[in-house]
């Protein structure tokens, strides 16, 4: 997958990746490149169609100067708004948005639910590490009740979001949750998400070994042990996190619907007040 990365730029080296040792973000980048490689090979999608957009945070560092693709590293929480603009300008883009649990669930919450509501053709990869990593481990809307973080030194008193449920209720076409310890399922979901005409929301539990104070290997083991794949039932056993595909629907996509308006009304003008 190194062919998809810019190891050197005209003015100096870009690699190694800036992530901490064992960070889940590097793994998600790996899985995403595997998925795009598969799509270029199997579906004939051209490399120029891919567009990687991110907000701000550790997860969002993925869509930066490492990539040999078109990309944007935008402002905190607003990646989906930029993605919407790009798709309105050119519906042919295959947009993948890298975002975090804080970027999506907190500051970007409004853009998140509206992107799902509009069902624009975007694949959202939300790296969930239960906190704000880049800024030092503060608590996020996904931090479990009672957890101690740098801004909840006495334990969090707030309930946590279930981002997948939010996406589903807001109207996303495809919603799934996996972890970095489930590479093949994650890659398969990313491929499915990009193929889906509509909003695909894939939450990926990605380890932050530094702020959780666990080794990367133990965090991956924990992800394997604490998660249970849902098949028929949504409600997991006590203390387990459900993973799997939560919904997979076919709904009208925004650009498809708008194209019908253009086809019907183009060239019919009445000027004046």
Partner 1 sequence: MYRLWVEEKYCKGCLICIDVCPKDALAPAHEMNARGYILPVEEDMTRCKGCKLCELMCPDFAIAIEEIEGNG
Partner 2 sequence: MKRTSYASHVLKPGKYFLQGNHACIEGALIAGCRVYAGYPITPASEAMEHASRRFPQVGGRFIQMEDEIASACALIGSSWGGAKALTATSGPGFSLMQEAISFAIMSETPMVIIDIQRSGPSQGYITASQQDVMQARWGHHGDGPIIALAPSSVQDMFDLTIEAFNLSEQWRTPVFVMAEETVGHMLEPVIVPPWEEIEIIERKKPQDLGILPQDYLPWGHDVVAPMANWGEGYNVNVIGLCHLEDGNVTRYNPQINYRCVERLQKKVEENVNKISRIETQFTDGCKHLLICYGVVSRTAIEAVIEARAERGLELGYVRLITLWPFPEDELRRIVRGVDTVFIPEMNLGMMEHPIAEALRDRCRKIVSIPSIGTLHAPEYILSRIYEELT
Residues within the interface to partner 1 (CB under 8 A): 1-2, 5, 15-17, 19-27, 29-31, 34, 180, 183-184, 209, 215-217, 220-221
Report what 237 binds from partner 1, partner 2, none; CB cut-off 5-8 Å by kind: none
Please list the residues that pair with 228 across neighbouring strands.
Answer: 242
Q: How many Å apart are CA 194 and CA 94, to the nearest integer?
A: 7
Q: Which residues contact 272 (CB under 8 A, 6 or more apart)?
A: none
Report what 85 binds from partner 1, partner 2, none; CB cut-off 5-8 Å by kind: partner 2
Using the minimum distance from each CB to partner 2, give the nearer residue, 185 or 255.
255
Please list the residues that pair with 79 across neighbouring strands.
Answer: none
Q: How far is the CB of 114 from partner 1 (least distance, A)?
A: 32
Q: How many Å apart are CA 178 and CA 125, to the nearest integer?
A: 10
Q: Vertex 179, ends 82 and 129: CA angle to 5°? A: 65
Q: Does 1 bind partner 2 (CB under 8 A)?
A: no
Q: How many Å apart are CA 102 and CA 242, to the nearest integer?
A: 20
C-alpha gyration radius of the chain: 19
Q: How many Å apart are CA 20 and CA 22, to the nearest integer?
A: 6
Using the minimum distance from each CB to partner 1, give the nearer residue, 2 or 269.
2
**Ranges within 83-102 binding partner 2 (CB under 8 A):** 83-90, 92-93
Using the minimum distance from each CB to partner 2, give the nearer residue, 88 or 217.
88
- Interface ranges with partner 2 (CB under 8 A): 6, 9-12, 14, 18, 47-49, 51, 53, 63-65, 67-75, 78, 81-90, 92-93, 110-111, 114, 254, 258, 261-262, 265-269, 271-273
């Amino acid at each position: 997958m190194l062919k998809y990365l810019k190891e050197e730029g005209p003015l100096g080296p870009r690699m190694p990746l800036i992530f901490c040792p064992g960070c889940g973000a590097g793994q998600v980048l790996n899985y995403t490149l595997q998925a795009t490689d598969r799509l270029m090979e199997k579906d004939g999608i051209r490399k120029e169609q891919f567009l990687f957009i991110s907000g701000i945070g550790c997860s969002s560092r993925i869509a930066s100067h490492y990539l040999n693709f078109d990309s944007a590293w935008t402002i905190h929480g607003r990646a989906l708004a930029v993605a919407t603009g790009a798709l309105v300008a050119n519906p042919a883009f295959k947009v993948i948005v890298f975002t975090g649990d804080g970027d999506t669930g907190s500051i970007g919450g409004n853009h998140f639910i509206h992107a799902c509501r509009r069902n624009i053709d975007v694949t959202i990869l939300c790296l969930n590490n239960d906190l704000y990593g880049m800024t030092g481990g503060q608590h996020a809307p996904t931090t479990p009740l009672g957890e101690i973080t740098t801004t909840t030194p006495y334990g969090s008193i707030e309930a946590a979001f279930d981002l997948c449920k939010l996406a589903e209720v807001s109207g996303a076409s495809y919603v799934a949750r996996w972890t970095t310890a489930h590479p093949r399922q994650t890659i398969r979901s990313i491929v499915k998400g990009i193929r889906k005409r509509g909003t695909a929301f894939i939450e990926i539990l990605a380890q932050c070994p530094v702020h959780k104070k666990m080794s990367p290997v133990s965090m991956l083991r924990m992800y394997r042990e604490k998660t249970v794949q849902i098949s028929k039932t949504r409600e997991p056993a006590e203390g387990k996190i459900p993973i799997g595909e939560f919904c997979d629907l076919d709904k009208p996509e925004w650009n498809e619907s708008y194209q019908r308006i253009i086809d019907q009304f183009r060239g019919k003008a009445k000027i004046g007040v």
